Amino acid sequence: MHRNFWVILATLLLFAPSLGSANPSGVGEGAFDAQCGGACHGDADMNRSSPSIVTLQSEEVAYEGLLTSVTVSIENIQTTQQGLLGVFLLSSLSGAGDLPSDDGWTIISNSEGGTENYVEITVLPSQNQRNVTWTLRAPDIGQYELHGAIHHGTQDGSEAPFFGQSSTPIVVDVVVVPEDLPRLTSDYAPTTQRLLGETTTMQLDTTFVESVEVEWRVAGGEVQTTEVIALSDGRWSFDLPASLQPSVVEWRAHLEGEGPSQTTPWFQLRSEAAPWTVDETAAYVQSFALIVVFMAGFMTLQKRQPNEIQKTAFSDEAFEGGDI
């Protein structure tokens, strides 16, 4: 009974440090509201104001059902020794029901290669400013607000949660699409992930477009152009060069037609190493081998135990008979 008590107590003590503590290694990309700016990093009641400056940039007008982009910019960055910084795109700061999707926005991609409203970035010690860009499909006609927010820990490792937000939201006016506007089709969604060493052929599906010019760049680098091939009426293709190391390639298209010329947002294509895979057959064989070894060891112990009991009993009888 006493041993069970101490085992249970030791288990509780092992888990106790994690209760209410922060997540210095981050929580990963996800769909998180503003409340997570304190609660995900640590105890929301201990939340402090971040000294960082958060601003947003976006087009003032977007077309219903078409793509646009929003950039959250962070200056005077304060973060942990690991440089981890969480960045949010939100439709409000209420703490509930404030995801962009709650207002009808659809996230197509973000500059970190994902499709969520919350991302975690690593900031180098020399960096004092970073941008995170989301590509969104616009909701129904109307006016909408979008907010940016961040959360982070401290350099001293105290795990105190800091939360910061944009001082003012951006307001996007979503309007009806002009009939002859050169544009991507309403259901177009670009590829956002690829493996290292792969040249990627991208396709564009368009409406009211007579010619296309595509620009690309490694994130933040020099802008270059690539050849665009017309496949059929409204369908185009172009190649993006392979990446030899994990990186993000950004690209955008200039669309020309009878209506006013349009330029798409910068789209992001992340290159990653092939994921590590497990040979399930080998894993099963190894598991079976471990079971056999365990059973053999257990049976050996069972055989030895009666022999040891007999030896002990014989020694006791000899002692009682005075032979020892």
Work out the widest C-alpha separation in the chain, in whole angstroms.
117
- The CA distance from 231 to 256, in Å, is 16
64, 129 contact by CB (below 8 A): no
Mean of pLDDT values over 276-304: 66
279 forms beta bridges with none
Residues with Cβ within 8 Å of residue 29, at least 6 apart in sequence: 112, 114, 116, 118, 119, 120
27, 44 contact by CB (below 8 A): no
Grade residue 10 by pLDDT with cuts at 50, 70 and 90.
very low
State the average pLDDT for the chain. 81
More reliable by pLDDT, 112 or 129 = 129
Q: Which long-range contacts (CB under 8 A, 24 or more apart) does 42-45 make?
A: 42/159, 42/160, 42/161, 43/161, 44/161
Check whether 230 has a pLDDT greater than 90.
yes
- The CA distance from 170 to 137, in Å, is 16
172-227: pLDDT as tens digits: 999 999 999 999 998 898 888 888 888 999 999 999 999 999 999 987 689 999 99
- The CA distance from 49 to 310, in Å, is 73
- The CA distance from 213 to 238, in Å, is 10
Task: Please state which of the ranges 81-85, 214-218, 287-291 shows the lowest mean pLDDT.
Answer: 287-291
pLDDT of residue 185: 92
In terms of Cα–Cα distance, which of 256, 48, 73, 86 is closest to 162? Answer: 48
pTM over 0.85: no
Q: Which domains does the chain have, with CATH numbers?
A: 23-176 (2.60.40.10), 178-276 (2.60.40.10)
Q: What percent of the chain has pLDDT over 90?
A: 44
Task: Pull the structure tokens for residue 79.
Answer: 């973060």
Q: Is 232 exposed, middle or buried (0-12, 13-18, 19+ CB in 10 A)?
A: exposed
85, 150 contact by CB (below 8 A): yes
More reliable by pLDDT, 297 or 270 = 270
15-68: pLDDT as tens digits: 444 444 455 556 678 888 887 754 454 444 556 888 899 999 999 999 999 999
Amino acid type, 61: V
Check whether 320 has a pLDDT greater than 90.
no
pLDDT of residue 4: 52
249, 234 contact by CB (below 8 A): no
Relative to beta strand 67-75, strand 106-110 is unpaired
pLDDT of residue 280: 64
Alpha helices for the chain (secondary structure H): 2-15, 36-39, 280-320
